[in-house]
Amino acid sequence: MRALFTFLILITSLFGLAQNPICSFSIGGKVVDHEGQALPGASLVIIEQTRGIVSDAKGEFFFQNLCEGTYTLEVKFVGYRTATIKIRIKKDETIRIALEQDETLLNEVVVQEHYDHISKSQTNAVLSGAALEALRGKTLGAALKNITGVNTIQSGPAIFKPVIHGVHSQRILMLNNGIRHEGQQWGAEHAPEIDPFIASNIVVIKDASAIKYGTDALGGVVIVNPAALPTTPGIGGAFHSVWQSNGRSGTAAGIVEGASQKIKGLSWRTHGSVKKAGDFNSPDYVLTNTGFEERNFSAALGYHKSEEAGFEVFYSRFSSEIGILRGASVSSLQDLQNAFNAKVPQYSTDFSYTIQSPRQEVQHNLLKANAHFHRGHNTFSVQYAMQLNERQEFDLRRDSLNSLPAIDLTLQTHTLDAEWEQELKQDNFRCIGFNAMLQTNDNNFGTKRLPFIPNFTSYTGGLYAIQHFTLNNWDLEAGLRFDYRYYTVAGRDFSNAVYTSSMVFANASATMGATRKVGTAGEFITGLSTTWRPPHVAELYSVGTHQSAAAIEFGLLLDETTNRVKDIEDSDFKNEQALKWVNTFKLAKSLTQMEITAYANVIFNYIFLKPEGITRDVRGAYPYFRYRQTDASFVGLDVMVDQVLASHVSVVAKASLLRANDFRNRDFLIYIPANRAELLLKYEKRFDKKLSNAFATFGTSYTARQSRAPRVVTIDQIIQASNEGQDLLATDKSMFDFTAAPAGYLLAQAGVGLSFELRSKKLDLQLQCDNLFNCAYREYTNRMRYFSDEIGRNVSISLKYSF
């Protein structure tokens, strides 16, 4: 718990405080009890700014970048009377806050939500507070793009898959409310089914050392955390509305939460959000059929009995329908060539809210129950979750088939996690845990298509142990994990014949991390980890084309000439194994915040889609890709600097650089995010009385052309060679792309915001304009770049009312 708090302080100082950087004063100090003992985990809130932090392991806290003025500091700790302190700030202040024990509450008081340790020895980045508020209305993937080192693979304006340090899909683990998110992650156009409105903070762990969460975290972990359930009796909440000009979209969301007055420790929360967007538009034309609709709902109920135990149940439902650019639907290379040559995408027409094929309909349900118990220095926690993911993909088909999904999958996942954690001296801890997972994937009958992936059931078990200790000035952490997965698979091959198979994958992961203070304001973190992942069934058995792509995909286990499914024992398959080294230096001074991360990730037996040749079927020539394995390296640098320039004015600079290589074949990888840099100027002024805060921002971002892109083989070249009986892709199997990487681009953005406070209620207003100069550009990592420009200018208005 303490590690988390330390971490929270760090991130608050990096992000939360970055919101008011014009002012350079600080309040630091210590929270103690009546005997002078440190109180770690006390919550501190500056009421005027709704900025909150939690005291660290030594009871210490630190608020930075405060303006001159008087503030109300509210300090809460379970079992103690809440203290409210008025502080006048003219210079940096250090205070000691002693809390009085609350006798009446002591026996029945509410315990703070049980948090997982987020290791000190990890390189994390967080979106929370105002930084997260500014991104409300965006999808999870799009919001994550604001973290340095995180990018996206896009399929149009509404589908974003997060990419951490150049690595994505099955190599990123997502935790939604503490549960390993299980959807159909294999598809490049399958965005995570998580509503970001539910989150009070989103954490990205950039190193692979998130060992307690399971396999697959080769690139990193995305953690979506809702806030802890309220502890103070009463009802509170917020309503949020966002309107955007591009796509003419509207979003409405609300959260209502409360704690019971009668039953101490009983609390609840419910949230809902509705989004609707029509066709987006590029500067020059409408991106027909790119609208989407989303309806989400969640409810949580918790009961916390003193320090000893807590129970919670949680349910959430995510439901979306997303259109895919109509002009991107092609069924042959010739069609693709026509689409490339079209100045305006085929079928581009007037704006509409209608969503037609190609489109996706996805529902994700999560039901979770968890409990934790404290005994002395021990915490035992257990959680069970059931996830039901239903995905239907509608391709553009002949009239009578148009209403039938081409892919119709139901994925059911049960997870059981248990952990024992022991607090040791000197803020150290150890924990031991296990994870079990049962997953079934079913193709629902009635698609009138060959199933793209087979039915399967998987049984997964994992055991881990983590030890945290202090050596001289270093905080060290070591972890070891063992995982086992058993699959039974049954599918249909190209000829509609049944095949069945069963497989076992087992391996170990290990991690070492170390942290030390550098000077008074600096911190150095280094982490080395090795981890692996079992293959996804899609990588082994895929057959066919999916969602309007002019390419055929074959799984690793498909025979090269007969197309029949091979036994895995007869293939040269090896588990993917990563070795990642991440080094971070953080500096947190009153006028300067800085974070520099350098990383190297080597993934052995990296599974990727490799072009293997051209096949001619009745529609004409098609390139086909096979899942193959190679060795890949990802080396990069993330930099973030937040500097106060003058009174009320600050600047934030970010850059992320990445070089990726297929070093076994001495080739480039495709869809690797290009180098990016961003500069944001911010003017912020606080006023007294009703107009409590106002800000204006102007920013610019530059994305370079991806110069390390695979060779270009044009469709004309392929078709011409194919007509002459040559197969250009079979003779040279190196990676290729149909077009060169698009040019680099420079975008500008501007925003203004106002906050009013009336008694305990608060109103936030924001006006934001992205792509200010309506530039026409294409993004290398957007799969729609072959067909259309990115979206043009977008003005969004956001309103939030909290009570």
Partner 1 sequence: MTSILKPQFLKISAIILAASVLFSCEEDAPGKEDTPELITKIQLTFTPAGGGNPIVATATDPDGIGVQDIAPDGQINLIGGTNYRLSIEFFNGLLSPTEAGYDITEEVLEEANEHMLFFSWDGGFSNPTGNGNIDNRTDPVRYADNDSKGLPLGLLTDWSTQATATQNRKFRIMLKHQPDLKSASSGSNVGETDVDIQFTFNVTAVN
Binding footprint of partner 1 on the chain (CB under 8 A): 329-332, 334-335, 338, 346-347, 396-402, 442-443, 445-451, 454-457, 459, 484, 486, 488-492, 494-496, 498-500, 502, 504-508, 510, 530, 532, 543-545, 552, 554, 560-561, 563, 577, 613, 615-620, 624, 723
> Which lies closer to partner 1 via its Cβ, residue 96 or residue 574?
574
Contact present, 6 and 117 (Cβ < 8 Å):
no
CB of 499 to partner 1, least distance (A): 8
Longest dimension (CA), the chain: 90
Q: Dihedrals φ, ψ of 786, to 5°?
A: -70, -25
- Judged by CB, which is closer to partner 1: 109, or 339? 339
Distance CA 298, CA 313 (A): 11
Closest separation in Å from C-beta 506 to partner 1: 4
Long-range pairs, 394-403, Cβ under 8 A, ≥24: 394/357, 394/358, 394/359, 394/360, 394/361, 395/329, 395/357, 395/358, 395/546, 395/547, 395/548, 396/326, 396/329, 396/357, 396/358, 396/548, 397/357, 401/448, 402/357
What sign for the dihedral angle of Cα 731, 732, 737, 742?
negative
Q: Which is nearer to partner 1, 87 or 579 (CB)?
A: 579
State the angle between helix axes of 715-723 and 333-341 in degrees (0 to 180), rounded to the nearest 10. 140
What is the smallest separation between the CB atom of 431 and partner 1, expressed in angstroms? 21
Least distance CB 478 / partner 1 (angstroms): 13
Distance in Å, CB of 617 to partner 1, minimum: 5
Minimum distance of partner 1 from residue 555's CB (angstroms):
12
Minimum distance from residue 379 beta carbon to partner 1 (Å): 29
The nearest distance, CB 301 to partner 1, in angstroms, is 35
* DSSP reduced 3-state for 473: coil
CB of 123 to partner 1, least distance (A): 22
| Residue 178 to residue 417: CA distance in whole angstroms | 10
Nearer to partner 1, 505 or 736 (CB): 505
Least Cβ distance, residue 338 to partner 1 (angstroms):
5
Are 123 and 525 contacting, i.e. CB atoms less than 8 angstroms apart?
yes
Smallest gap, in angstroms, from Cβ of residue 356 to partner 1? Answer: 10
Residues for the chain: how many in total? 803
**CA-to-CA distance for 543 and 566, rounded, in angstroms?**
13
Tally Cβ neighbours within 10 Å of residue 248: 17
Smallest distance, partner 1 to C-beta of residue 728, A: 14
CB 670, min distance to partner 1, A: 21
Query: Which is closer to partner 1, CB of 408 or CB of 737?
Result: 408
Q: Is the peptide bond before 710 cis (omega within 30 degrees of 0)?
A: no
Q: Which is nearer to partner 1, 376 or 725 (CB)?
A: 725
CB-nearer residue toward partner 1: 243 or 347? 347
Tokens of 231: 């502890």
> Alpha carbon of 760 to those of 17, 93, 130, 257, 803: distances in Å?
21, 26, 18, 16, 7
Beta strands in 687-744 (DSSP E): 691-703, 711-712, 736-737
Q: What whole-number distance in Å separates Cα of residue 184 and Cα of residue 181? A: 10
> Given the complex with partner 1, which of 315 and 494 has the nearer CB atom?
494
| Distance spanning both ends of the chain, measured CA to CA | 28
Residue with Cβ nearer partner 1 (504 or 591): 504
Q: Give whole-number Cα distances, 295 to 194, 354, 478, 667, in Å.
A: 11, 16, 42, 43
Nearer to partner 1, 302 or 623 (CB): 623
Distance CA 119, CA 348 (A): 50
Contacts of residue 628, Cβ cutoff 8 Å, sequence gap at least 6: 556, 607, 608, 609, 610, 612
Residue 615 or 714: the one with the smaller Cβ distance to partner 1 is 615
Give 687's contacts (C-beta < 8 A, 6+ positions apart): 693, 694
Calpha distance 110→95 (Å, rounded): 27
Helix (H) or strand (E) holding 297: strand 292-305
Between 121 and 501, name the residue whose CB sits nearer to partner 1. 501
Radius of gyration of the chain, Cα coordinates, nearest whole angstrom? 27
Q: Which is nearer to partner 1, 400 or 520 (CB)?
A: 400
Assess contact for 172 and 152: CB atoms under 8 A: no
Task: Give min distance, CB of 616 to partner 1, in A.
Answer: 4
Q: Among residues 31 and 407, whose Cβ is nearest to partner 1?
A: 407
